[in-house]
Structure 1
Amino acid sequence: MHLEHLNLVVSDIPASLKFYQAAFPHWKIRTEGSGEWFGKARNWLHFGDDYQYISFNDDGEGVNRELTGHQVGLAHFGFVTNNIEAVIMRLTEAGFEIAKPGAENQYRKNIYYIDPAGYEIEFVEYLSDIPIERNSDN
């Protein structure tokens, strides 16, 4: 079993898409359209590859949860990369800054970004194939 997609409600699909296109240059717009969600019109777009994608839905209201607070809700989601420096370079060139560095660890490198919709995304590069090392605290 694996995660197939995330469904994110955003206020601005093009702004969100710019972030994820920089992070995932090999992904493409799979499909898009419009519809209604519980009486409210919305546009949607699926961005990904043949196996995984992110669904963006516009007409979001309000702001995302306070990430430094303790409210119930999504804290962050993470993606594994085999080249974290390339991810940082692409996002920097697209105008996005690292929100916070990851913890120092001899078996992985990680960083966090806040996307245009206010979601926190972690990118991690593992430096070991041994699970106990990858998941260690040192």
Structure 2
Amino acid sequence: MIHLEHVNLVVRKEDIPAMLKFYQTVFPHWHIRDQGVSDWYGKSRTWLHFGDDYQYLALSDNGEGENRDLTGHQVGLAHFAYVTNNLDAVITRLTDAGFEIAKDGAPHPHRKNIYFIDPAGFEVEFVEYMSDIVSERNSTI
């Protein structure tokens, strides 16, 4: 079996506490698995792994530049997505914590989804499926 274990996001130094707040709000059952300082091609970076026993986000600071324009067509990460069994609860936790919905997902009879922009500018989709039939979940209707 192959599954995604982690995503490594490089952010600006000041973004790590805000990123941690965002993802702690989304995943209240996750914790900091490990953290430290290391050298990345001659540049010191503070890093932390936030997740559970099976998957996590790796956050590293000292990133340079800006994230890609999500309304543009530049090469790069467009978004990543998490499946939840209670989208309304995720939305409530995030909006109660002061995070704004970036955009609604398209209406669909077998799924509902929403997009947020995390503090480092990465677009994160949250999706809840209303069908166990894969062809229905993934249809473009």
Give TM class, smaller chain: over 0.9
What is the identity, as a one-letter code, of the residue corresponding to 1:57? Answer: S
Partner-residue secondary structure (3-state), 1:55? strand
User: What's 1:38 paired with?
Assistant: 41
Aligned equivalent of 1:102, options 102, 105, 126: 105
Mapping 1:14-33, distance limit 5 Å: 14-33=17-36
Distance 1:93 1:44 in 2: 27
Distance 2:96 2:22 in 1: 11
User: What's 2:117 paired with?
Assistant: 114
User: What's 1:3 paired with?
Assistant: 4
User: What's 2:95 paired with?
Assistant: 92
User: Per-residue deviation at 1:35?
Assistant: 0.8
TM-score, with length taken from structure 1: 0.98
What is the identity, as a one-letter code, of the residue corresponding to 1:89? Answer: T
User: Per-residue deviation at 1:93?
Assistant: 1.3
What is the identity, as a one-letter code, of the residue corresponding to 1:4? Answer: E
TM-score, with length taken from structure 2: 0.96
Mapping 1:52-71, distance limit 5 Å: 52-71=55-74
Distance 2:106 2:92 in 1: 20
Distance 1:92 1:21 in 2: 13
User: Per-residue deviation at 1:60?
Assistant: 1.1
What percent identity do the matched residue pairs reach?
A: 70
For structure 2, the residue ranges without an aligned partner over 5 or more in a row are none
Task: Provide, for residues 25-64 of structure 1, a one-character-per-residue CA deviation record: whole Å limited to 9, x for no partner.
Answer: 1111000000111111110000000000000000111110
User: What's 1:50 paired with?
Assistant: 53
Aligned residues: 138
Partner-residue secondary structure (3-state), 1:89? helix
User: After TM superposition, which residue ranges in structure 1, 4 or more long, deviate above 6 angstroms?
Assistant: none
Partner-residue secondary structure (3-state), 1:21? helix
User: Per-residue deviation at 1:99?
Assistant: 0.1
